[in-house]
C-alpha cells in the first residue's frame, strides 16, 4: 500500500479540509470546546471523505451540525445501526449526509464521514464537546487539544481493523488552525502556561477571575495544544449547580438541575513526609517499536525507551528496603525479570538493573492486555499493597478491554499510568488510572519523565484519603440521584468531580447543602458547602452533559462484553436524551434538499486530519463497490460494521504484520542515536548507590564526583568509616549541584539519610565541612537532613 501525505486528490492536490477554528470555554474544572471545520470539494465529481481524529478520552461530544451553502442542519443522536443505515440510504439516493461516530475499541477516537459533497461545494462542520480538566502534580489543570493520532496497534485475534498513519512534515499540512480560550472561575486565575507559544494573558475583570488567551501567530499544528491553568486556593472544595433545560421534561436528567462537587484534598507536610516502608511495586514497560521514537518527535532527542530505562534506575534506587518488586516489559509478547515479585535488597536490585540496561524497543507490537492478566493472576503479598506503574505511548486499539480489566482488579491494587510522547491515548492513560485509583501523567514536548514518575512514586508511599462520604441536606420535596460512582479513596494529587441530579421543588427553601467527610492519616476532615436550588438559566448544560457522560461510561464499563439489552437500552436512551455520544449511538445529519442522484463513481477519501498531523491518506475510486443502486454495505448478518471496519476493508491491511512493521519503522528518522552517549552525571552517581541507601568509597564514586580516589581518601576524617564518608559526599553533591532536579533524587536521598542515622556515626558536622571543602559547596548539615 502506498503512503500519501495529507489528504490528496487524484492529481495530488490538497484537499477538502481547508481550516479549523477552535474556541474553548473553561469554567473552573471543566471545558466546553467548539471546533469548526471548513471543507471544499475541488474534485470534478462527488466525494465521500472519512476523517479519523482524536478527542480527550473522557470528552462528551454533545453537538454536531453541518452548514452547506446557506443551509444549517443540526445532527440528531440515534442508535448507531439506525444512524449508519440512514447515512448509507442518503448517499444512495443522492443526498448529502454527515455521520459522526465513536470507535467501538477506544472512546478517544472518532470518525467523521462527509458524504456526497458535490463538485465545487463547500461545507462547514461544527463539533462541540465538554470535558473535565485533569489535575497535574503541581495543582495545575491540564487542557489538551490532541493534534496527533498515532497508529493503534491491533492485538492478535481482535475484531475490526486499524487505520495506519505516518508522520507528515508540518509544512505539508494544507489547513490552518485558529485557537482561543476563555477561562472563568470563582477563584482568581493565577497564570496559564503552554508548551506552545501564547499571546499574553488578558484579564477581563479586576478580580482576575476571568481571562482570555490565544495561540501566537505562526503556530504549526504538529503537536498537541496544551494549556496548564492555575487557580488560587486550588484545594478549596466547591459545589456548582446548573439549571435544567427549559424544554426538557421535569424529572428527567436534562430537565432537572445538576450539581457538581469538586473534592481535591490538600495533604499537609506532616502527611507528605510520612513514607511507607512496605508495598509491592510492579513496573510495566512498553517495549514496542514505537518506543524508539523521541518523546517530542525531534531528531537526536532521547528516545522514549531510553528515558524509561533512566526512570527505572531512579525508581529502583528509591524503593524502601523490605518492600517487594518486579519489572514486566511488553510488545507482541511480554517478559518479566522474576517469576513473581521478590523482596527488595542489594542482590535483587542489582539483577533487575542489569536487565533494565539491556532493554530496547525490540518487542514488536503493543500487547498490553496479556501482561496485565499475568500480573493480576499473581497472589497478593500480605501487608504489601500492590502499586502498578504502567509506561506506554498508548497506541492500542483495545482500550476499553484494558480499562475493564483494570477496573475488575481495582480492589487489589492501585494503577499509576504514564503516557509517553505526542499522541498517547488519553482514554487509555486516564482510564487506567481512574479505574485503578491512581494518578495519570503525560510526558510531552520538553517534559522529563523522571520528575513526574518519581512524584507518583512518592504519592504511592503516602497515606490516602479514606472513609469518604457525601451527605445531602435538601428541603422537603427535593431528592438527589447520584450520577457518579462512589469514591473509595483519593491519593495525593488526585481530584474527584461528583455529579448528582436534583429532582423536585421546594416552596420554601431556595438553598441546599452537602457535607463532605473524609479521613486522612487518621485525622477526620469535614466541609459543608451551600448551593442555590434555583440557579441561573442558560449555562450551556455543561454539567448535565458531563453527568450524563459519567453515568453512560459507568454503564458501559460495568457491562463491557456482556449482552444486556436493558443496560444497552438505558445507554441509548441517556445518549439520545442528553445529546451526548456513546459507543452505541452516532450523530447523523441528512440534507434532504440535495436530492439529485449521484452521477458517476463516488470518490472515497480517507484522512487522519488532526486535529491530526500524523496522516496517512488514500484516495480510492470505489465505483465497483458503491453506486446509485447499492449501499456501501455496513450490514453483515444484520450487524452494522463501524467506519473503522469499512476503512480497513478498503485498505486491505494485514492487522498484525502491518501494525508491527509500522511501529518498528515509523520513527526511524526521529530516533537517530549517536554511537556513544555519556551518562548523565546525576544518573551516574545514582547508579552507584546501594539498595540500603549508602555509597561505597571507590574509584567510580570519585569519577562521578569529579575527583580522584586519592582526593577522597585524603579528605576523609579519620574517625569516620568509608561508607559514611562516601554517603555524606554524595548527599552534599546532590544538594550542591542538582537542587533543580531534587524531585528526581529526593526519595533515594531520604533513604541515604535514614541509613546514616542508623549508623550513629560520629563527627557528622566535621564530615559535612570537609565534604564542602572538597567539592566546593556550601551545603548546611540541616539542609542535608542530618
Higher pLDDT, 412 or 645: 412
- pLDDT higher than 80, residue 14: no
> Among candidates 268, 270, 275, 272, which has minimal Cα distance to 693?
275
Strongest mean pLDDT among 12-26, 100-114, 345-359, 633-647: 345-359
Any alpha helices (H) in 8-79, and if so which ranges? none
Residue 683 has pLDDT above 80, yes or no: yes
Closest CA to 58 of 159, 121, 118, 130: 130
Fold of 17-149+167-230+582-651: Immunoglobulin-like (2.60.40)
The answer to whether 124 touches 72, Cβ cutoff 8 Å, is no
Lowest mean pLDDT among 220-224, 463-467, 474-478, 678-682: 220-224
In tens, the pLDDT along 152-173 reads 444 455 444 443 333 333 444 4
The pLDDT value recorded for residue 392 is 92
Per-residue H/E/C for 344-368: CCHHHHHHHHHHHHCCCCCCCCCCC
How many other C-beta atoms lie within 10 A of the C-beta of residue 698? 13
How far apart (Å, rounded) are the C-alpha atoms in residues 586 and 427?
19
pLDDT at res. 300? 54
Does 306 have pLDDT greater than 80?
yes
Per-residue pLDDT, 635 = 32
Q: What pLDDT, on a 0 to 100 scale, did the predictor assign at position 626? A: 29
Q: Do 17-149+167-230+582-651 and 275-461 show the same overall fold?
A: no
Residue in 671, 612, 482, 624 with CA at minimum distance from that of residue 151: 612
* Residue scoring higher pLDDT (16 or 767): 767
Question: How confident is the model at residue 46, as a pLDDT?
Answer: 75
Q: Looking at residues 695-721, what average pLDDT do you find? A: 93
Q: Break the chain into its structural domains and give their ranges.
A: 17-149+167-230+582-651, 238-266+465-576, 275-461, 681-784
- Mean pLDDT over the full length of the chain: 80
Is pLDDT larger for residue 489 or for residue 376? 376
How large is the average pLDDT for residues 387-406? 86
Instruction: Name every residue whose Cβ is closer than 8 Å to that of residue 216 and which is 6 or more positions away in sequence.
Output: 196, 197, 198, 199
Identify the CATH number of the domain defined by range 275-461.
3.40.50.410
More confident residue, 301 or 375: 375
Name, of 260-269, 324-333, 534-543, 609-618, the range with top average pLDDT. Answer: 324-333
For domain 238-266+465-576, which architecture applies? Answer: Sandwich (2.60)
What is the tens place of the pLDDT at every residue in 496-533? Answer: 899 999 999 877 678 899 999 999 988 999 999 999 88
SS3 state at 684: helix
Range picked from 273-277, 559-563, 687-691 for highest mean pLDDT: 687-691
- Average pLDDT score over residue span 695-722: 93
**Residue in 481, 416, 496, 622 with CA at minimum distance from that of residue 132:** 496
For residues 99 and 64, the answer to whether their CB atoms sit within 8 Å is: no
Residue 545 reports pLDDT greater than 90: yes
Lowest-pLDDT range, 37-51, 233-247, 322-336, 395-409?
Answer: 37-51
State residue 560's pLDDT score: 55
Amino acid at each position: 500500500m502506498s503512503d500519501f501525505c495529507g489528504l490528496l486528490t487524484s492529481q495530488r492536490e490538497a484537499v477538502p479540509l481547508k481550516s479549523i477554528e477552535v474556541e474553548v470555554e473553561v469554567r473552573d474544572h471543566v471545558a466546553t470546546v467548539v471546533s469548526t471545520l471548513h471543507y471544499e470539494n475541488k474534485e470534478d465529481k462527488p466525494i465521500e471523505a472519512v476523517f479519523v481524529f482524536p478527542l480527550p478520552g473522557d470528552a462528551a461530544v454533545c453537538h454536531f451540525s453541518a452548514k452547506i451553502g446557506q443551509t444549517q442542519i443540526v445532527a440528531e443522536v440515534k442508535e448507531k445501526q439506525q444512524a449508519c443505515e440512514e447515512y448509507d440510504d442518503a448517499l444512495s439516493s443522492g443526498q448529502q449526509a454527515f455521520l459522526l461516530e465513536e470507535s467501538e475499541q477506544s472512546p478517544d477516537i472518532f470518525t467523521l464521514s462527509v458524504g456526497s459533497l458535490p463538485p465545487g461545494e463547500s461545507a462547514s462542520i461544527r463539533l462541540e464537546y465538554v470535558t473535565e480538566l485533569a489535575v497535574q502534580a503541581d495543582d495545575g489543570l491540564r487542557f489538551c487539544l490532541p493534534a496527533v493520532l498515532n497508529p493503534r496497534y491491533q492485538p492478535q485475534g481482535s475484531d475490526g481493523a486499524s487505520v495506519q498513519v505516518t508522520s507528515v512534515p508540518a509544512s505539508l499540512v494544507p489547513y490552518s488552525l485558529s485557537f482561543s480560550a476563555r477561562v472563568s472561575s470563582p477563584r482568581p486565575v493565577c497564570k496559564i502556561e503552554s508548551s506552545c507559544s501564547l499571546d499574553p494573558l488578558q484579564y477581563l475583570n479586576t478580580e482576575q477571575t476571568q481571562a482570555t488567551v490565544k495561540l501566537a501567530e505562526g503556530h504549526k499544528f504538529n503537536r498537541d495544544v496544551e494549556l496548564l491553568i492555575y487557580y488560587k486556593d486550588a484545594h478549596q472544595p466547591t459545589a456548582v449547580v446548573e439549571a435544567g433545560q427549559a424544554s426538557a421534561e421535569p424529572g428527567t436528567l436534562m430537565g432537572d438541575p445538576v450539581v457538581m462537587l469538586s473534592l481535591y484534598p490538600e495533604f499537609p507536610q506532616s502527611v507528605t513526609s510520612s513514607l511507607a516502608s512496605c508495598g509491592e511495586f510492579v513496573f510495566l514497560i512498553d517495549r514496542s517499536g514505537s518506543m524508539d521514537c523521541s518523546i517530542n518527535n525531534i531528531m537526536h532527542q532521547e528516545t522514549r525507551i531510553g528515558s524509561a530505562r533512566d526512570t527505572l534506575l531512579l525508581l529502583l534506587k528509591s524503593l524502601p528496603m523490605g518492600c517487594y518488586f518486579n519489572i514486566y516489559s511488553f510488545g507482541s509478547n511480554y517478559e518479566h525479570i522474576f517469576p513473581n515479585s521478590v523482596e527488595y535488597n542489594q542482590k535483587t536490585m542489582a539483577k533487575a538493573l542489569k536487565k533494565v540496561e539491556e532493554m530496547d524497543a525490540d518487542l514488536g507490537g503493543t500487547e498490553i492486555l496479556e501482561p496485565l492478566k499475568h500480573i493480576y493472576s499473581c497472589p497478593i503479598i500480605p501487608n504489601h499493597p500492590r502499586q502498578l506503574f504502567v509506561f506506554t505511548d498508548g497506541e492500542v486499539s483495545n482500550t476499553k478491554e484494558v480499562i475493564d480489566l483494570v477496573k475488575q482488579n481495582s480492589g487489589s491494587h492501585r494503577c499509576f499510568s504514564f503516557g509517553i510522547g505526542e499522541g498517547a491515548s488519553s482514554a487509555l492513560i486516564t482510564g487506567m488510572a481512574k479505574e485503578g485509583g491512581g494518578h495519570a501523567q503525560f510526558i510531552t514536548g520538553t517534559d522529563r519523565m523522571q520528575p513526574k514518575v518519581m512524584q507518583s512514586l512518592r504519592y504511592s508511599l503516602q497515606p490516602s484519603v479514606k472513609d469518604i462520604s457525601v451527605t445531602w441536606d435538601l428541603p422537603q420535596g427535593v431528592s438527589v440521584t447520584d450520577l457518579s460512582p462512589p469514591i473509595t479513596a483519593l491519593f495525593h494529587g488526585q481530584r474527584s468531580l461528583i455529579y448528582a441530579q436534583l429532582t423536585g421543588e421546594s416552596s420554601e427553601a431556595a438553598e441546599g447543602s452537602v457535607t463532605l467527610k473524609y479521613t486522612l492519616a487518621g485525622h477526620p476532615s469535614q466541609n459543608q458547602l451551600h448551593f442555590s436550588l434555583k440557579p441561573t438559566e442558560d449555562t450551556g448544560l455543561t454539567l448535565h452533559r458531563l453527568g450524563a457522560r459519567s453515568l453512560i461510561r459507568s454503564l458501559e464499563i460495568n457491562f463491557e462484553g456482556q449482552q444486556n439489552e436493558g443496560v444497552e437500552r438505558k445507554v441509548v436512551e441517556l445518549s439520545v436524551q442528553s445529546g451526548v455520544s456513546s459507543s452505541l449511538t452516532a450523530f447523523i445529519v441528512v440534507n434532504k434538499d440535495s436530492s439529485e442522484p449521484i452521477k458517476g463513481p463516488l470518490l472515497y477519501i480517507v484522512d487522519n486530519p488532526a486535529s491530526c498531523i500524523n496522516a496517512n491518506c488514500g484516495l480510492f475510486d470505489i465505483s465497483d463497490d458503491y453506486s446509485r443502486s447499492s449501499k456501501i454495505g455496513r450490514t453483515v448478518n444484520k450487524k452494522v460494521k463501524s467506519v473503522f471496519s469499512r476503512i480497513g476493508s478498503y485498505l486491505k491491511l494485514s492487522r498484525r504484520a502491518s501494525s508491527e512493521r509500522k511501529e518498528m519503522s515509523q520513527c526511524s528518522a526521529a530516533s537517530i542515536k549517536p554511537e556513544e552517549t555519556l551518562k548523565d552525571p546525576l544518573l551516574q552517581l545514582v547508579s552507584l548507590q546501594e539498595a540500603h541507601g549508602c555509597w561505597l568509597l571507590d574509584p567510580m564514586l570519585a569519577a562521578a564526583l569529579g575527583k580522584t580516589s586519592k582526593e577522597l581518601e585524603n579528605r576523609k576524617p579519620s574517625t569516620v568509616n568509608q561508607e559514611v564518608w562516601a554517603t555524606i559526599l554524595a548527599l552534599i553533591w546532590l544538594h550542591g549541584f542538582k537542587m533543580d532536579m531534587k524531585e528526581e533524587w529526593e526519595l533515594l536521598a531520604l533513604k541515604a539519610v535514614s541509613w546514616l542515622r542508623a549508623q550513629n556515626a560520629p563527627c557528622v558536622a566535621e564530615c559535612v565541612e570537609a565534604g564542602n571543602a572538597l567539592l566546593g559547596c556550601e551545603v548546611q548539615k540541616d539542609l542535608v537532613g542530618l
